[in-house]
Structure formats: C-alpha cells, structure tokens
Amino acid sequence: MATPNLTEEANDLRLIMEETDREAVATAVQRVAGMLQRPDQQDKVEQYRRREARKKASVEARLKAAIQSQLDGVRTGLSQLHNALGDVSDIQQSLADVSKDWRQSINTIENLQDVKDAVVQHSQLAAAVENLKNIFSVPEIVRDTHELIEQGELLKAHCKLMDLEFSRDNLMYEQYRIDSKNTHDMNLICSYFGETQTLSEQLAKQLWMVVERSLVTVRCDPTMLVSVVRIIEREEKIDRRLLERKKQTGFIPPGRPKKWKDKMFDVLEKTVMTKIEASQSDTRESNKMWLVRFLEITRKYVLDDLLVAKNLMVQCFPPDYSIFYILFNLYHKALSTRIEELISEDLEANEIVSLLTWVLNTYKSEEMMGHPELMEEVNINIMDPLLPQNIVDNLLSKYVKTFTSNITGWLRKALETDKKDWNKETEPEGDQDGYYQTTLPAIVFQMFEQNLQVAAFINEPFKQEVLRLCLKQMSSFLTRYKEEVILYKDEHLKDRQHPQCYVQYMIAIINNCQTFSESITSLKKKYSSTESDKNEEAIRVTLDTVARDGCLFLLDEVFMDLEQHLHELMTRKWLGGSNAVDTICVTIEDYFNDFAKIKKPYNKEMTFEAHRRVVTEYIRAIMAKRITFKNADERKEGAERMMKDAKQFKFLFKKLSDTASSDADRLCDAISAIAEVFKLTDPSLLYLEVSTLITKYPDIREDHILALLAMRGDASREMKQTIIETLNQHKSSSMASMQPLFRDITVHTQTIGVPKLLK
C-alpha cells in the first residue's frame, strides 16, 4: 500500500523539477539579456560565465546536501514505522492473552469471598484487641476525666476524652464496615461509651466559661486560655480528619463535627453583646444623665477590652484566628445593635445630641476606636459607620423639630419673665459700664450658645442648620418683643405713675437691642463664615426699630412733662419774664441724666432728636401766633428773649452731647434767625431778612412766613405780597440735602389765604 503513494510523490516531484527548470531558464535569459545590452559588456562574457559557473556549482552542492539529508530522514522514519508496526502486533497478542486469563479467573474471585469476610473480621478483631485495654477501663477513664474537668485540668481531661472517643469511633467504624445497617451493634457501642458525649459537653461548658471570661483570664492566668485554644485546635484537626474519611467511606462518628472553633466565636459574640448591655446601670427614671453615663462607661470598657485583646490575647491565639480583628468587629457590631435599640426608646432632644456626638465624634476619636494603639491593627475609617446615614438623618430631623418647639417655649418664657421685671419698683441692674440692662439677652444667647456648642460637636452642616434655626426663631421672637414693648408703653400712658421705673426699663430695653445685635454678630463670627441671610437682616431691622421706638417713647415721656411749659412760650407771660425755658432745660437735663445710661449710638441720636423736637416745638409756638407785637419795643424785647432762649438751648444740648455738631447749631440758629426777623426796625428791609431766612431753611413755607409777619404786626399787605412773590426765587437748592426743620410744623390760621392775598 505504500508503493502507489511513493510513485505519486515521485511524479509530483518530477513536475515540480520541470517547472523549476523552466523558471530558471527564463530567469537566466533575462539576466543574460541584462548583462549584454551594451557593446563593451561583450568583452566580459567569459568573466560572467566563470562567475555563474561558480554559483551553479555552489548551489548544486547545497542542493545535493539537502536532498541527501532529506533522504536520510525518510529512511530513518520508515525504519521506525516498521518497528512500531511490529510492537502493535505484539500488544494486540498480549491483550488477547490477558482477556483470556481474566475470563478464566472470575470463578476464582468468587471463591475468595469467604477469605475477604475473614479479613474484615480479622481487622475488626484486631481493632477490638488494640482498644481492649481502653474498653475494659472505660468506667475508670470516665471517672478520671470527670475529676480532671472539675479540677480545671482541661488539657489532661481532653487527652483522656480523646482516648475514649478514639476507641469508640474505631469500633463503630469497623462495625460500619461489616454491616452499615446493623443499628443494634452500633447502639450497643454507643450505649457502652454513653458517658463520652456527656464528658464532651461538660468539657465544652468549661471551655466556654473560660472564653466568656477570656478578657479577665488573659490578664491573670493566660495559660488557661492557651490550654483552651489548644483543645479547640485539637478538635478542629479531628473534625477535618473525620470529614475527609467520611468523603471516602460515608461514616462519621456521632457528635461530629463538633465545630468548637465556630462555637468559641459565637460565645465571644454573646459575651460582647451581654457586656455592652450590662454597661447600662441607670434608667431614665433614676438618672437624667443615664445616657451620658452609659456611653462613657461603654467607651471606657470597650477601649480597655480592645487594648487587652491587642496586647495580650493575640499572644494566646494562632495568627490565623485574627482574634483582635474578630473582637474589634464584634464590639463594632454589638455597639451598632445597642445604639439602634436606644434610638427606638424615643429619646429626648438632649439625649439625641449626646448620642450623635458620641457616635459621630467620640466613637472614632483617639479616646475610643481611633486610639493610636488600635489604629496600628485596624483602620476604623474603612469600616461601616456605627449608624446608617438614614438613621442619623432621622435623628437630626427629630432633634430639629424638638429643638424648634423647645426654643419657642424657652423664648416665650424668657420674655414673660422679662416683662414681669418691667413692672418692678426697683431700677434694672447696670452692666460693667453702668448701662441699664435686663437679663433677657444673656438668657436668650446662653440658650443659643449652648445649643450651637452641642451642634458643633456633631458636624459642620448640622451646626449651620441650628444657627439658621436660631436666627429664624430670634426674628420671630423680636417681633413679639416689639409688640410687647408697645403694649408696655400703652399701659404706662394710661397711668403715668405706673410702673414707677418705666423710664429706666425702657432704657434697658433700648440697650437690650444693642446687646442682641452684638451677640448675633458674635454668634455669626464664632459659628459661621457665610454671608448674612434674610433672617439676620430682618433681626437687625427689627432691633433698630425697637430701639428707635423706645427712644421716641422716652422723648414722648419728656415732652408730656414739658407740654404745659411749651404752651407758655410766645405768650404775654413769656414776654413778661416767664421761667418756662428754664424749666424746660432743667426737666430735659434731669431726664437725660437717666438717658445717659443708653448705649451708643442711640444715646447720641436721642440727644439730637430731643434737640430737634425742642426747637420744633419752640418754632411751632411762634407759628401758633399766641402773641402779636404791638410796637418796635415789644418786637425788640421778644427778639432778645428768643435769642437768649436759643443760646440756653444750644448750651444745654452741647452739654448733653459733649460734641460739637453743625446740625445741632443749625437747629438753635433757626430761632435766632426768626428773632432777627422780629428785631428788624426798618420794614423796608424786611423782605431781605426773610430772604436770608428762606436761604438758610429752604423747607420754610408761605404759611410760615405769613405767620411770622402776622406776629410782627407791622407788615403791610403790599409788603406781604412782595415777600411771598420772592419766596420761591430765594430758595437755595444747595440746602435741599439738609434735614428739614419746618416741614412738620403746621400753621392753623383763619386769615386771608395766600392765593387770595396775591390776588
């Protein structure tokens, strides 16, 4: 069968050779044509021929070598194939002989079953003989093991227990091999070794007691804990060996696998949970600080236990146990569970803050889980948070609601207490600078400060939320404060004798506004770096309104006492030498002795307002035309009296303000300017003097000028008409920015109106 294949390969090879020859001839022709293109190249034909002959000889030599190598390889391959064919034939013959022998030995194998049974029985008897000593001494070993367990000799007790279990397990295994369905013999063996399981349980109980007290035991007797760990390790090895045999035989002794290592970790977990729960010694009913006390005790116990575990317990356990990491996680899990249980007890606002502060800050701080020695082993930052974020958010939301309700009540109560002080018969206390004040700002901002300090312990966003809430509540509170101040003033006006210290407490209220404003600035600077919000702006507007209203209420009080004396101005009695201005000055100075207890800037503003109102009332008395000068002597006397009064007012208010002010001088100069109008003796120059007055006080109106002229008593109709016509022409636009003085002064007159006069 190989000959035709060789023939075909030879034919293919021949065809390939012919094709190659043709390609070679064509290539040679092409090369020769390229060499003989020029006449001078024909002289080198012989040189070309010798060069090509050398190349041909070299190629033929390499070709012959390659062909010879290929032929040698083919020859070797054919020889190996021939040998392999012979080997295959021999193997086929051998397999046939083996098959024949196997068929002949089937009957022989069946005849050996009795021998097989005898071997199994011999194995069982050998196991029985081997354990015969232990079998006869089982009661004694049980007794000794029980005594060793009671004496705490756990390692020795475990050795005897292992001997008992080894004897029992071997006997049961041999019985299982004979007849796995023979439960009678199995039960007989179990019954004979029945105390073995009881001893195992007693030993396990002792082990778990040691494990439960491991954090204490490791400090005083670490060898006991090491013995327990060695026993558990032995049992783990036995479990692994028996489980491997079960995969092969299907047999496993009763009570296996014991899994004492897993049970040890279960005991540790229960111990940690029990210890965390036992840390709470107080209840809400017995101690208001029960939660703070529980958290502090827990912090101390957990830190101490973990440090003991890190420094002592790890030396008693194999490294693969990772005992410190296990305990760290057990405490973390137990604390998380316990904290969630506490949250379900409907905590109060202060308790929520204490809990969150502990969870979010203390827990991860160096005082607890973030202790430097602990961080060497475990990084708390990569562990799950003690409380899920949604629970933290719910607690914060609950606190905000409770805080809002509480702070509303606190502010209402503080205001009610402050209102009671307003009606006292004793003056309010002064601060270190002597300014009157009440305790309201201190109480309010002490509440805010305490809550913000607590919020700052939780986290920055929550602190900002509490600050925003405080400002919002403050805004609402000041609105009520403003309303109560107005009611306080209204009640006083019903009977000005009560309350006795109305002026002093109104001063304290004004100062409170300044204190409130300073306290808000302090809070913002201390607890926030953000820009002012709408609540803060509303608070400042309200405080300024309350303070300015308080100043006006006090000035109203002053001018109520001055009303009678103001009515004497510009009357015949005043012209005759009345002491009304003296009384006015004395009264104002007396009041301003108390007003000196008002803080800046309101005391300065109040002094200026009092000055303005005194001048306004004086000018209003002039415009009331209570007197008409009969002749030049009366006009001169009245003008001099007015100038004297102006100097007296100017002296008074310079004394009260302790500062020089062009606006204040301008107020009293208005009286002097009007006096100059009255003092003028030449009526023909009257319109010039009036023009000067109009230039200085551009808000003066026609009715004011007519009232002055009427009081002067000598101005003709034509003169009045001329002065009125030039009134608007002499108003100076440069004075328009000054504070108006005549704008609010009305003139009640029944004389001929300006339009009719001009007509």
pLDDT for position 181: 65
CA pair distance 449, 447, nearest whole angstrom:
5
Q: Cβ neighbours of residue 720 under 8 Å, at least 6 residues apart? A: 706, 709, 757
Using alpha carbons only, give the angle 342, 344, 347 rounded to the nearest 5 degrees.
70
pLDDT at 753 over 50: no
Is the pLDDT higher at 125 or at 677? 677
Residue linked to tokens 């301003």: 592
**Residue 245: which pLDDT band, with cuts at 50, 70 and 90?**
confident
Residue linked to tokens 């051998």: 94
Work out the average pLDDT over 442-457. Answer: 86
Instruction: Look up residue 682 and give its DSSP letter.
Output: -
pLDDT for position 384: 82
The per-residue pLDDT for range 31-48, each reduced to its tens digit, is: 777 777 777 766 777 777
Instruction: Look up residue 430 and give its DSSP letter.
Output: B
Percent of the chain with pLDDT over 70: 87
Is the pLDDT higher at 36 or at 63? 63
Work out the average pLDDT over 654-679. Answer: 79
Q: Provide the residue ranges of all domains of the chain, joining segments of one domain with +.
A: 1-35, 49-88, 118-258, 289-387, 394-550, 568-758
CATH fold of 394-550, please?
Answer: Tetracycline Repressor; domain 2 (1.10.357)
**Residue 416: which pLDDT band, with cuts at 50, 70 and 90?**
very high
pLDDT for position 544: 92
Listed ranges 9-18, 354-363, 484-493; the one with the highest mean pLDDT: 484-493
Work out the average pLDDT over 8-27. Answer: 81
The per-residue pLDDT for range 699-716, each reduced to its tens digit, is: 888 888 888 888 887 777
Q: How many CB atoms lie within 10 A of CB 361?
A: 15
The per-residue pLDDT for range 180-236, each reduced to its tens digit, is: 666 666 667 776 776 778 888 888 888 899 888 888 888 888 888 898 899 889 888
Q: Are the CB atoms for 503 and 554 separated by under 8 Å?
A: yes
Domain 568-758 has CATH 1.10.10.10: no
Four-CA torsion 693, 696, 699, 700, nearest 10 degrees? -10
Equal CATH topology for 394-550 and 568-758: yes
The average confidence (pLDDT) of the chain is 82
Work out the average pLDDT over 724-737. Answer: 58
Is the pLDDT higher at 5 or at 79? 79
Helices (H), 569-631: 572-575, 580-595, 602-623
Q: What's the token pair of residue 288?
A: 């208001």
Range name among 65-74, 554-563, 737-746 with the lowest pLDDT average? 737-746
